Amino acid sequence: MEWQKVFYEFLIVTVPAVILYFIGWGYLYYYFGAFGINIAEVHIDVPTIFIYSVPVVQNAVVHYLYYLLVVLVLLPAAVLLLYSQLKVRQKNKVKAAWTRAATAVAEMSLWAKLALLIVVLVGSALAMRPIIEAAALETAMRIWTGSTTVVIALPEAKGEGSPKPVAPSVWSNRYEACSKKEALRLIYADDNAYYLLCMKEDTRSGQGDVFEVRRKEGLVSVRFAERE
């Protein structure tokens, strides 16, 4: 039927988008988590989430190329070789089994097919979780080791819309000290705030402070983070 054709075309377009969205969201979830930041705190638009799916795909290609080769090339080749060695009668049995499976799927109702698709997507998501987490933590490690952008806090501008002055405190003093030493490392920035990491002086401890600096309010929060 025409509406079924439209539905399948819709799935073809949306399923890859859903997968990429999940990858990007999962990447940001683990990346922010490495610095004690809840992803719900950060303003992230949909295009940004799609953009952050790229590091995961790149990481998978670079580090898991062997496994992709096994799944996409070697495994099918082994199955074809095994199938070619089977006797004619056994080949017919295998072919009949595949035919019955394909027929069973084809005869499913639309809702049953949709449920099967959801199960496949959920299973794929669970299988991809280690790859997503590894890519995010690899990026976070570059922040911890200093291979990232350094931010220098400039003196507050006076005028309308400038950040409110922060009352002197231990944390504001530490923030200023980190800035003077050029030790503030950019974790993430959006339309509302910057998230900056300042490592402890003893870098071997793998600990640091994460400053949340609002564009209008200035320094608003500090949290502790520890390198995993």
Q: Up-side HSE of residue 13: CA atoms within 13 Å toward CB?
A: 6
pLDDT at 159: 47
Report the alpha-carbon distance of residue 194 to residue 163 in Å, rounded: 13
Q: What amino acid is encoded at 45 in this protein?
A: D
Mean pLDDT of 57-77: 66
pLDDT at 142: 86
Q: Is it the case that residue 176 has pLDDT exceeding 70?
A: yes
- pLDDT tens readout for residues 85-130: 666 666 566 566 656 655 665 666 666 666 666 676 667 667 778 8
Q: How does 77-92 read in b/e, with b if 16+ C-beta sit within 10 Å?
A: eeeeeeeeeeeeeeee
- pLDDT tens readout for residues 127-152: 778 888 888 998 898 888 876 666 66
| Lowest-confidence pick of 35-39, 55-59, 74-78, 151-155 | 151-155
The dihedral through the CA atoms of 75, 80, 82, 83 has a sign that is: positive
pLDDT at 29: 94
CB-based contact 217:163 (threshold 8 Å): yes
For residue 32, give both structure tokens: 């922010």
Mean pLDDT of 171-192: 85
Sequence spans of domains, the chain = 2-144, 150-226
3-state SS, one letter per residue, for 142-160:
HHHCCCCCEECCCCCCCCC
Report the alpha-carbon distance of residue 57 to residue 131 in Å, rounded: 9
